[in-house]
Amino acid sequence: MRSDSDRYKSFTRRTAAVAGFKIALLSVLGARMYQLQVVQADRYATLAEENRINLRLLPPPRGRILDRRGRLLAVNRQNYRVLMTVERADAAKDTLDALGRFIFIGDGDRKRVLREIGRKRSFVPVTVRENLDWNEVATIEVNAPDLPGVTIDVGRSRFYPGNELAAHVLGYVSAVSEEELNGDPLLELPGFKIGKSGVEKVYDGLLRGTAGTSQVEVNAIGRIIRELSRQDGEPGWDISLTLDLDLQTFAAERIADESAAVVVLDVQTGDVLAIVSTPSFDPNAFNSGISTADWNALVNNVRSPLTNKAIAGQYSPGSTFKMIVALAALENGVASPEQTAFCNGKYEFGDGTFHCWKRSGHGRVDMVDAIAESCDVFFYDLSRRVGIDRIAEMAGRFGLGHDLGIDLPGERPGLMPTKAWKLAVQGVAWQSGETLVAGIGQGFVLTTPLQLAVMTARMVNGGRAIVPRITRREPNAEGSAELGEAEMSIGVSDAHLRLVRRGMDDVVNGPTGTARGVRVEGEALAFGGKTGTAQVRRISERERQIGVRKNEDIPWRTRDHALFVGYAPLAEPRYAIAVVVEHGGVGSAVAAPIARDILLEVQRLDPARSAPQPLALVR
C-alpha cells in the first residue's frame, strides 16, 4: 500500500511538471502570436502587400525642341521594337537565328542579347532591335507562329525631322553609360536615353520630365500577374530656340559642300537666328545605335563633322580684325580719324619686311580707305603705335578672347595674346614684330565664328554688349527680355564706331572695296562688311618672288581660310553675320558671296520682327 501511494505521488508530480511546461510553452507561443498578429499586424500586412505588389517606373515623354516660330526640331515618335522572352522560346540562339531570317540582326546586337539573357530571369523580355520599320513589324507578326517568345512592343524614340540640319545645336540622345548613373532610378530603366550633346545635353533635366508609376501584382518569383493602377508622369518641358528654321535651312544649303561655319545674330537682342557647321552628322543615327564603321568614319573625317565649328573652331580672323585695331588706336588717342599712311606694298621694321597683300601697294590711304581696301601696311604701322596690350583690351570689349556664355556645350575661348600671356605661357618676352602680325589678325590671335558675329553686332548696334543666346529668355517684371541700356554699353565712342562702319560700308559699296564684287543694287537690301583671308602657312620669300598661286597649287589642308563679317540693313542694322570657310581661299571670292546670299535671305524673312514663341520653356 505504501509503495502504491509513493508511486502515485511521484506520477502526480511529473504530470504537474509536464503540464506546467506545456502551459508555459503555450503561453510563449500565444504571446508571440499576439505580438505578430496584433501588435505588429500593420507592419506585416504592409510587407505582405509589398511582396505581392511592385511599383514600377514609367518613362515620361521627352520634351520637344522648337524653333522661334514653334516649328518642330526634335520630337518623339513611335518606336517599334522586337522583344524576346526566353521562357516562351525554344532556345535563345535558335530563336535569334529564326528571327534573323526576317529582319537584320547585327553581330553586336546578337552578342548583347545573349549577354542580357544570361543576366536576367527567363520571363523578363530582352530587346533584340529597336526602330523597326512597318514592313519589318508586319513580317514578324505574319511569322509569329514560327517565332515563339518573340513579341512587338511600341515605345517612344527621339526623332530629328531635319536630320543633319541643326545637329550641332540640337545634339542627340543615347543610352545611359555606367559613369552617368547618379542614383536616379529613371536612368536605370532599360532603353532610357539622355542628352549627350547640344541643347539635348544642356537642358536634359528639363527635357527629361518626371517618371510615372505603375502598380503591378506579381507572384512569388516576380512574374507580373496584372496591372492594378497606373499614373502617368509629367512630360518634359518643350524648349523654344531662337533659331529660325527657314534661315537655318537656307544657310545650311548655301554652304553644303564646304567645310565651313555661319552664324547670324540679331544685333539688338543677341538671338542666334542661324548657326551652321558643315559637314554635319545625322543625330538620328545615335538614337538608333550607330555602327562602329559609321562612328569611325565620323571621327576620322578630316573635315571634323562632329565639331561645332561655329563655337569650337578657332581661326585667325585675318583682316576682319582690323576694325579692332582701328578702334584701339582711336579710343587711346594714338590716331585721329584723319590718320593717313603711304603703302608701297611693304613695311620695313627692324630686320624684317612685312608685305601688304597688294604687291604694288595702295598709295596714300586714310583709315576709312584702309578698312575698305584692307591695307596691311596701314595696320602694321597703326598696331605698332597702339601696342598689343591695348589692342587686346579693345578686343575683349567686343567679345574676343573669352567665352561668350552661349548655352551650348563645347564653346572655345579663342585667344587674344598679351605681353603677360606670352611670358607666362611660353616663358619668353613679346616681340614688337609679333604686334604687327597680330594687327592684321594673324599670329597668335584666334577667334571663333560666333565671336566674330558678336564683334560685328556690337560694332553696328551702337556699342551695346549683346550676349548670344540660343534659347529664348522669360520676360522680366516689366515684360522685357532685354538687358538695361547701362549694362550693355562697351564704352566706345559713337563717332569712332560710325567711322569704322563707314569703312565697312565702303568694303562692299565703295569703288575700291575688297568685296565690291558682291554689292547689291539698291539701298533697300544693301549691306556692309569686311573681308578676311587668314594664312594657314607662311609664304616664303622665294614663293613670293616667283608668284606661286598659293591656294590653287597646294593641298587643301594648307590653303588659306576665307572669312567675311557683315551686317544688314545698311542704314539701320538689325542682323550680323560671320562666315568662315576652312581652307576656302580668298575671303572676297569665297566667303563674301555666301554672306551676301544669307544676308539677303534674312532680310526677306526678317525673323527678328516676327512673332516668336514668348518663353524659353513651355509645357
Do 383 and 439 touch, CB atoms closer than 8 A?
yes
Residue 398: partners with Cβ closer than 8 Å, 6 or more residues away: 324, 454, 455, 458, 459, 490
Do 157 and 59 touch, CB atoms closer than 8 A?
no
Amino acid identity for residue 442 in this structure: Q
User: What is the rounded CA–CA span in Å between residue 273 and residue 80?
Assistant: 35
User: What is the rounded CA–CA span in Å between residue 126 and residue 113?
Assistant: 7
User: What is the rounded CA–CA span in Å between residue 271 and residue 268?
Assistant: 8
Cell of 390: 591695348
Strands 65-66 and 238-240: parallel
Residue 376's nearest CA partner among 514, 265, 198 is 514
Angle of helix 322-331 relative to helix 388-397, nearest 10 degrees? 110
User: What is the rounded CA–CA span in Å between residue 335 and residue 184?
Assistant: 61
Which contacts (CB < 8 Å, 24+ apart) does range 459-462 have? Answer: 459/323, 459/398, 459/497, 459/500, 459/501, 459/504, 459/567, 460/267, 460/497, 460/501, 460/504, 460/528, 460/567, 460/573, 460/576, 461/267, 461/268, 461/573, 462/494, 462/497
Residue 564's nearest CA partner among 261, 362, 307, 252 is 261
Q: Is 319 a catalytic residue?
A: yes
Strands 224-231 and 575-581: unpaired
Do 239 and 203 touch, CB atoms closer than 8 A?
yes
Residue 548: partners with Cβ closer than 8 Å, 6 or more residues away: 539
Alpha carbon dihedral 423, 428, 429, 432, in 10-degree steps, equals -120
- Provide the CA 387 distance to its chain's centre, in angstroms: 37
Q: How many helices (H) and strands (E) does the chain have?
A: 23, 20
Cell of 505: 560700308
Residue 129: partners with Cβ closer than 8 Å, 6 or more residues away: 81, 82, 103, 105, 109
Residue 346: partners with Cβ closer than 8 Å, 6 or more residues away: 353, 354, 355, 356, 361, 377
Strand-pairing partners, residue 144, are: none
Task: List Cα–Cα distances, 50 to 2, 11, 45, 187, 504, in angstroms.
Answer: 67, 53, 9, 23, 74
Q: Exactly one of 157, 174, 316, 319 is catalytic; name it.
A: 319
CB atoms inside a 10 Å sphere around CB 161:
13
Strand-pairing partners, residue 265, are: 272, 576
Report the catalytic residues.
319
